[in-house]
Amino acid sequence: AQKHGLELICDSRDVTVRATEYKLSLEAAGRAFRYEFFRSALEGGLNRIATAHTLDDQAETLLLKLARGSGTRGLAGIWPKVAASHRSSAISEDEKHGDPSIVRPLLGTRRQDLRIYLAEMGQSWREDSSNRDLRHTRNRIRHGILPRFKRHVNPRVCETLAETAEIARSEEEYWATEIARLLPQIWREDTLDCTMIGTFPLAVRRRLVRRAAESLGLTLEFHHVEEVLELKGCVSLPAGWRARRDGDGIKFHKEPTTRSDYAYPLSVPGKVEIPELRLAIETMLVNEAHGPDDLLESSFAKHELVLRNWRIGERFWPAHTREPRKIKEILQDRHVIGDQKKSWPVIASGGEVVWMRGFGVRRDFRARGEKGVLIRESPLEN
């Protein structure tokens, strides 16, 4: 910066503390800090902030969202311009179409081309070491899945995925304007007009329900939207919300929460007591044989672990199953219900659930030898 006569603005925050305090994953906490920093810089006089997202980042994002389930909004991927108020992957309509203070000018450039350009300038390539940590899903897509796609399916898979995102973005821009025009016709005082919404095609009805919920700060998954559209009585929604059919209307209301969320930093070795459950979880490094379900890869001893209750939408990969499943479904299969279900403990690292009570260590994070992090639980004595 000094060489080019530019001002350098730096900041540092404790992501782990933020994640624990607000019950967030490390990725989500880091993202929140980044956008707070961006907003602070803009308030200090900057008019634009440019990030270095590339076409490869776009392809990875699209594939990740497609694998997890997404409509055209998710398939729009990374937007070239967003407002600094953008704080999550679910971009609101106001954030997408507000002041585009954050721009991504390299979104159409391949990462390899950027490396070549920098090399020709004599500029070294800098990369966060965590980008090679295969415990993170995005990194497994970057270093494993996409290279296989290129070799066996389509050599231009990154370009193709980026083109798909461009198509989806254009459609989303149209729908954002159209739904904003239609919403006042069917949504008043937190209530959907069933008669009016029934006159629209299914694709429009789904978007109207989702946008109405977003106006309350509520994000709905596909099955939630379908439940609302088919509602005859009452249905539970995320974050303590409920929707109830009352004549020709569907009323949204938030019930008093009874869920007690908790989150505790967990070191190795270490022991944490969960007063809410009268339970203690202990970790230790071992070098002798133990049951594989209780033994986590030894590398996790160097990472930040958080003991907490599971969050809506999270997945876990139990041993002896073919693929990860939603924790909600796993607990339902075991007939775990009510407050016990809501407070079920897990251990997370970097946004990934690596251990789950009653199911042990996540399948792909289990120690392959005798050395590893042993996780044990015990009841708290009165």
3-state SS of 64-104 is: HHHHHCCCHHHHCCCCCEECCCCCCCCCCHHHHHCCCCEEC
The whole-number pLDDT of residue 23 equals 60
pLDDT under 50: residue ranges of the chain? 86-98
Class of domain 48-125+133-163 (CATH, top level): alpha beta
Nearest Cα neighbor of 270 from 379, 382, 376, 135 is: 376
The whole-number pLDDT of residue 258 equals 54
The whole-number pLDDT of residue 21 equals 61
The whole-number pLDDT of residue 99 equals 60
Q: Is 48-125+133-163's fold the same as 189-254's?
A: no
Q: Hey, what CATH topology would domain 189-254 get?
A: Chorismate Mutase Domain, subunit A (1.20.59)
pLDDT digits (tens, 9 = 90+) for 155-210: 999 999 999 999 999 999 999 999 999 999 999 999 999 999 999 999 999 999 99
The whole-number pLDDT of residue 105 equals 96
The whole-number pLDDT of residue 88 equals 39
The whole-number pLDDT of residue 94 equals 40
pLDDT digits (tens, 9 = 90+) for 11-65: 887 777 777 766 666 777 788 888 888 887 887 778 889 999 999 999 999 999 9
Q: Are 91 and 219 in contact (CB under 8 A)?
A: no
The whole-number pLDDT of residue 63 equals 93
Dig out the tokens for 233 from the structure.
Answer: 């009585």
Instruction: Delimit the domains of the chain by residue range.
Output: 48-125+133-163, 189-254, 263-379
Q: How many Å from the N-terminal Cα to the C-terminal Cα in the chain?
A: 60
The whole-number pLDDT of residue 83 equals 82
Other C-beta atoms within 10 Å of 248: how many? 12
* Angle, CA of 222, 224 and 227, to the nearest 5°: 115
The whole-number pLDDT of residue 184 equals 96
Element (H, E) at 191: strand 191-193
- Whole-angstrom CA distances from 139 to 105, 129, 315 are 23, 11, 17
